[in-house]
Structures are given as C-alpha cells and as structure tokens.
Chains A and B, each alone.
Chain A
Amino acid sequence: MFNKLLSFTGGIYPPENKHLTENKAIELCDVPEIVTIPLKQHIGAPCDALVKKGDKVRLGQKIGQPRGFVSAPVHSSVSGEVKSIEIVDLPNGSKAPAVIIVNDGQDTPDESIKPDNAERLSADALKSIVTEAGIVGMGGAAFPTHVKLSPPDDRKIDILLLNGAECEPFLTSDYRLMIEHPDDILYGLKVIRKILGGVSRIYIGIEDNKPQAIKQMTAAAKNENDIQVVTLRTKYPQGAEKQLIYAITGRQVPSGGLPMDVGAVVQNVGTAAAIAFAVRDGLPLYRKLVTVSGGAVREQKNLMVRIGTSFREVIDFCGGWTEEPAKVINGGPMMGVAQYTLDVPVTKETSGILLFTKEEAAVREVSNCIRCGRCISVCPIHLMPLTISARSLAGNYEEADKLHAMDCVECGSCSYICPASRPLLHSIQMAKKEIMEERKRRAQAK
C-alpha cells in the first residue's frame, strides 16, 4: 500500500550517530545503594509523599500520591528504608522534593504486584492499572498516559499511532526495545486499543534507518489485521507527535490543538512496553531504558536503569569517561537539557545520557541574521523562527504571540540549521515563557 516513505514538510537531517549503541543489547544497570526518587517526574501536578523518614518500603510500593488528574503516582524502585525527603535538582533543570531510600538489596516485591491477564479485564480496569502504575509518555516529555487514554466524550478517536520513530540522534533505546521486546510492545498496544475502544486503524511508525526493528515489529503484528507497520523517512523531528500524525494520516492538528482534535492518539513504543509490564506482570513504572552515549563515555550502552539511580552511577557502570566531558546531556542532543552536576537522578523522563567531548560540544559563534529563511523552510510547524526570535529579543512578546510562538514544539531544527548560529529556539522559548506568564496575569486580573 505504501510505496513511498512517509514524512512531513520541513525538518532536518542531523548526523544520526546511532552506530555507537544500535548493536548493544539492553543490559541491566547495577542497582545503587541509595536511590533518589523525585515526586514530580511528569508534566502536571506533583505528588504528595506517602512515606516518611524511617519507613520501610518495598520494590514497587507507591510512595507518591498524585495531587490531580493530570499527574502520575511514583513508586519505589528498590526495597529498603526511607532516609529522608528533601528538595533535589532534577535533570530537566527544575527542583522538586524527592524520597531518598537506602536499598537493602533484597528487592522484596510489594503485595500490589500481581500478574494479570488483559483479555480478562475490562477497559476501565485496564485504565486504572495504567493510572496506578504511574505510566507516563516514555518519549521524553513524560505526559501522564492515562490522560491521553481518557479523551472527552465529544472527541472520537479512530486512529492509534505507535511511535517508534526515535528521531533524536544518538538515542537507540526504543530501537533496542523493538528488536528485543516486540511482543511486549504488541501486548501493550492491544491494551491501549482495548482502553480506547472504537479504534479502526493502528499504525506503528518506524524510521527507515531501523530495518531490523521494522522486521521484528512486522513479524510480531502479522496476525493482527488492523495493525500495520509503516516506514517513515529518517528525518528530524519525525517522532514529534503532530509530525507523525501528519506523515501517516495526512491530518493536521490545528494551531493550539491536541492530537485528539483530529481523532488520533499517539503513544511511544516504550510506553506500550511499560503498559504490558504493568498489566501482564503487575509491575509499576520503576525502571527506565536509557541510552548512554557520546564520544566521551568509555563504553556506550543501552541500559535498563532503576529510577532514582544517579547519573554518576550510570556513567560509572559504563566505565566512566575517556576524557572529561565538556557537556553532559539528559535526553537527546536536539531537545535534551545540559547538566551542571552528575548528582541528578534518572527519572521517567530520562531517555538518554550523553557525554560530549570538547569537539562535539563546541559552540559556534553567533553572528547577525542574514535573512536566508532556512529556519522557515525547516520548521515542521511552518512558523517563522527568525521573525519570532527578533520580536522576542526586542522584548515584544505580544507580537511573538501573534506569530504563533506558542505553537512551537521546541524541536530546535531552526537553531540547528541557522548559518549564523542565532539562538532562535532559546529566544522562542523565552517568548513562550513570558507569554504564559502574561496569560496567567490576565487570568488573575479578571
């Protein structure tokens, strides 16, 4: 049916650098003696701690109760004793309270961990398992999954997309997952299908630089008539939700809208696997698949890491570094956040830890905009980054808002392509922040 590669307009072709880790099988990272489990690892309201200093906790025990609907509970990733609850730095650049647990090395599982069967359970029961397991989008944004699976009644969802694009350079964790655990992904996908109900078409989108994954997923899904594996052009940001929907279905999410406005739900392959572990094995989300890569790390690896392990311990597990890294990044090189300390915990948002050498992390000198318009041609949202950036840098956030700055998905393609190395994305992010604050002020004034 699909002869040509599916894609969106715009986008960039950064060096993929996936060869460093794509043939490395997933390894289990050492479980640390002390884990730091933040009570906010997702988009939305933070959690309230359910434990206090001195409490004994078990592996998989719920230790954080969400404060709102758009939130997700957090669970202990080891068994042991709560040492303290304190404010810690998070790898996304914010601060949040965290439960610090001393591991007793026993991994005593919590009573709540009970294997079950998805075919036996109703859609509502499945949804509550997903909610209770604290599952969030594993693509990096960590949006609570149960919220995406609860569309309002007036939105009819007919298309389900499974995102296996993994367009960020360096990262290979989704790729390894698709090769090593295709059946888990498919199990999770079926659970999602059952929860949503009424889905007529399901696509698994994978970029064409991952032929092995396409083969594995196609083989896993061969008995399902409504599930189709589609090949996408290898281009960044192919894995961005709205770009994926457009590439596969041709539907365009309206400005300020959500995928559900066009009848689509997108889930990451990692999320589907996490759902399978939660439903079939009863395991909450207490570990994360992380790619450790970059030129400065001694041995690049794909690791299954307990949430709350510090970056330092993960890097030590990979043999440390060959030279002092000039930059350590949480996530991929395009959208990741640089770290100033290695004493930050791996959270549900961490999809990669990259250690860059001086050459890899070199910053180009900024010069004046030459109005070449390349940022416009690569912007997947069809914005005019140069114009929004100019307004933002002049402090004219109202004009930036009129130019749809709020629709920016912060993929960074504009900053990547800019021959003058203008800080386009950074200035747009600044405008977004100011616009949000202005809107809050207006809402309060009313």
Chain B
Amino acid sequence: MWKELVLPVLSLGGISFLFGAGLSLASKKFAVETDPRIDDIREALPGANCGACGYPGCDGLASAIAAGEAPVNACPVGGSPVAAKVASIMGLETDVKERLTARVLCQGDCDQAADKYMYEGITDCVAAAMLSEGQKGCSYGCLGLGTCERVCPFDAIHVNEKGIAEVDKEKCTACGLCVAACPKNVIELIPVSSEVQVACNSRDTGKVVRSVCKVGCIACRICVKACPFDAMEFENNLAKINYEKCTNCMVCAQKCPTKAIYAQFLERKAAL
C-alpha cells in the first residue's frame, strides 16, 4: 500500500507543486505587457481575414491600429460602423463615410460585344489578357473569365451566363480585392446609394467603340450637356460621374444614345 500508492502520489504531487510554483513565479516575473486594446479591436473587426487592408488578417490589423500604424478606418470591409467602434476603443474621432460597393464598368456581354478570337487557354482573365489584351474585341472590357470571382472572399461577385461579372450589392463589402485583381481595371468602388453608373471603361474613340460594342460610351458628351447638376465629367473619351454632385436624377441615363449609362429607373425619385 505504501509503496504502490502513497509514495508515487506524494512524489508526483511534490514535483507538480514545485513546477507549478516555478511557472507561476515565472509568469509574474517575465510577464509581457500587451495592449488590452488589441483584443477589443480584434473583437470589433469583422474577422473575415480577407487581407483587403493590406495587413495579415484581422489580428495583424488590430495590432497595427493599436500601435498607431494604421488608421481606425483601415478596414474597408467593416465600413463606418466598425470604424466608429474601433475609434471609440482608441479614443479617437472618425469621419463617418458612406459604404461603398464594387461595380463592373462594362455591359458588353456576348450579345453586345463580339470576341476577336477564340481563346483556348487557362480560364483566368490575367492569363487571357496576355495575348492581344484578351479575346474581347474591346480592349477595355470585362473578359468574363472570373478572376474577380475567385479572389472575392464574400461570394459577392459572379460572372453571369452572358460572360460579364456582376456584383451582389448586398454581399459586397468593398474590400477592393476584385478591383486589384482585375487585369482590365474594369471594376470600381462607388457609393452604395448611387443608382447611376457609367457602365463602360473604354478610352477608345467613338468610332472604335461602335465597331466593337453596342453599349459602349461613344464619347458623344450628350450626358455632360444634359446633366442639370454638372456632375458628369469627361476624360479620355469616357464619361465619369462625380458622385459628390450626382443626385440620381438619371437624366444622363435617359439621354445616353447607346445606354452605356446604367440606371436603376425603378428607384427614380418623382422630383424631376
């Protein structure tokens, strides 16, 4: 009884007590000071680890914000609610910005814009864009091979059956990964409330655009003249909306001869 039970219990108990005491002393003596705000910020962040902020995941961003290396609104996914929460943890003020969403600036699907050759390579826009700027007749348009779809961590962008990427406004968090991945730079972040977009990315002249696409911006400038709020800008043969001035009146979309300006007419206010 003594040999089989009491001795092992006592000796093992003694050893564990010694080690336990050592560990507890060490944890006191060698304790590393951590910023308690890191954990709080980490809690406030969305936790998708998408990397859109440029830091290695949400943990990385939380440490960077706590260390003052990143601004409180550095998370593009969380938008203003998260920025406000993080700001209160950090004891700072932040501007409340409107949420953005990604939008594909091309409507040239297989019915509207012809391809110039048959592409047989890897199903990826970056790979296709290496030869003659891609198979699409228009050298600025969406190639529709789904590079954006594969980088989106939120399942918010999909290539539709007509070969053009489409964004799901509800799911999109404006993280910007698709914008960076697109070899044609055809995706842009715009305010989520805007109902009007110039859905064309072509810097070609009107003649060239007409020869390759039925719904491209032909640089006619009718929209610039028509806009009652002076919100339509024009650069490199392409109309561009200044969203700070735009009131969603949709006059431009109505006047556009090729319907390159896309508008949600259902949402149109009765004011005009």
- Chain A residues within 8 Å of B, Cβ to Cβ: 89, 93-95, 337-338, 340-341, 363, 393, 395, 423, 426-427, 429-430, 433-434
Contacts and interface: CB of A to CB of B under 8 A. Distances in A.
B193 to A, nearest CB: 32
Contact of B131 (A95, A337, A427, A434): A337
30 contacts: A89-B132, A93-B130, A93-B131, A93-B132, A94-B132, A95-B133, A337-B131, A338-B131, A340-B116, A340-B117, A340-B132, A341-B116, A393-B122, A393-B124, A395-B150, A395-B151, A423-B121, A423-B122, A423-B127, A426-B121, A426-B122, A426-B127, A429-B127, A429-B130, A430-B122, A430-B126, A430-B127, A430-B130, A433-B126, A434-B126
B120 interface: yes
B177 to A, nearest CB: 11
A427 B127 contact: yes
Contacts of A426: 121-122, 127
Contacts of B127: 423, 426-427, 429-430
Given A427-B127, A433-B130, 8 more contacts: A89-B132, A95-B133, A338-B131, A426-B122, A429-B127, A429-B130, A430-B122, A434-B126
B38 to A, nearest CB: 26
A427 B128 CA distance: 10
Contacts of A89: 132
A135 B122 CA distance: 36
Interface string B109-125: 00000001100111010
Main secondary structure of the interface of B (DSSP, over half): loop
Main secondary structure of the interface of A (DSSP, over half): mixed
Interface string B244-261: 000000000000000000
Nearest to A389: B122
Nearest to B135: A340
B149 to A, nearest CB: 12
A143 B220 CA distance: 43
Nearest to B129: A433
Contacts of A434: 126
Q: Most chain-B CB neighbours within 10 Å: which of A93, A337, A338, A430?
A: A430
B179 to A, nearest CB: 15
A26 to B, nearest CB: 30
B259 to A, nearest CB: 28
Contacts of A363: 120
Contacts of A430: 122, 124, 126-127, 130
A94 B124 CA distance: 19
Contacts of A337: 131
Contacts of A393: 122, 124
Contacts of A427: 122, 127
Contacts of A95: 133
A337 B117 CA distance: 13
Contacts of B117: 338, 340
A89 B127 CA distance: 19
A393 B121 CA distance: 12
A427 B131 CA distance: 13
Please give me the 6 A-B residue pairs with the lowest Cβ-Cβ distance, nearest first: A340-B117, A93-B132, A93-B131, A430-B127, A423-B122, A426-B121
A393 B124 CA distance: 9
Contacts of A338: 117, 131
Contacts of B133: 95
Contacts of A433: 126, 130
Interface string B132-149: 110000000000000000
Contacts of B124: 393, 430
A335 to B, nearest CB: 13
Nearest to A344: B132
A389 to B, nearest CB: 9
A425 to B, nearest CB: 10
A86 to B, nearest CB: 11
Interface in B46-74: none
Contacts of A94: 132
Contacts of A423: 121-122, 127
A426 B130 CA distance: 9
